[in-house]
């Protein structure tokens, strides 16, 4: 009887240690249905969008910030360079989201669409543009 109790205690300790040593599963990246993004009349694929996120400002308006991949950024520089002095329309599924006047080529691959949405609307639009949730603010570095 005493041996059975000892074996039972050892078994419980092994199971408990295994449970404690287990690492949490990494979060599963969700994907979302995307729309047709056009910038300056040129179609940009969801794969060219590195990140899209809702960006609240100090006036409680919410805009969207788009960060493009290096290839998307090169295309954006060409498109924006051809539109100097003209508005660059950013549209999703044919609906205009923004039309900012271009003063110089956009070289960094980042576009800020001015705030005019609620936080929920901007987050939903950002997911439709990129097809995924925004990147974490802290990449653990």
Q: Where are the domains of the chain?
A: 37-130
Residue by residue, what is the 3-state secondary structure of the chain? CHHHHHHHHHHHHHHHHHHHHCCCCCCCCCECCCCCEEECCEEECHHHEEEEEEEECCCCCEEEEEEECHHHHHHHHHHHHCCECCEEEEEECCEEEEEEEECCCCCCCEEEEEEEECHHHHHHHHHHHHCECCCCCCCCC
Topology, domain 37-130: Gyrase A; domain 2 (3.30.1360)
**Reported pTM:** 0.74
| pLDDT per residue of the chain (141 residues) written in tens, 0 to 9 | 555 544 444 545 544 455 445 566 656 667 788 899 999 999 999 999 999 999 998 888 999 999 999 999 999 999 999 999 999 999 999 999 999 999 999 999 999 999 889 999 999 999 999 998 887 766 555
């Amino acid at each position: 009887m005493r041996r059975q109790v000892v074996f039972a205690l050892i078994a419980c300790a092994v199971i408990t240690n295994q449970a404690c040593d287990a690492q949490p599963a990494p979060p599963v990246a969700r994907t979302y249905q995307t729309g047709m993004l056009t910038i300056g009349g040129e179609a940009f694929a969801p794969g060219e969008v590195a990140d899209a996120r809702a960006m609240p400002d100090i006036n409680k308006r919410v805009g969207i910030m788009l960060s493009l991949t290096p290839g998307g950024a090169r295309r954006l520089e060409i498109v924006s360079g051809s539109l100097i002095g003209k508005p660059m329309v950013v549209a999703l599924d044919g609906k205009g989201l923004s039309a900012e006047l271009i003063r110089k080529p956009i070289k960094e691959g980042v576009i800020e669409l001015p705030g005019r949405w609620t936080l929920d609307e901007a987050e939903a639009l950002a997911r439709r543009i990129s097809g995924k949730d925004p990147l974490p603010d802290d990449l653990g570095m």
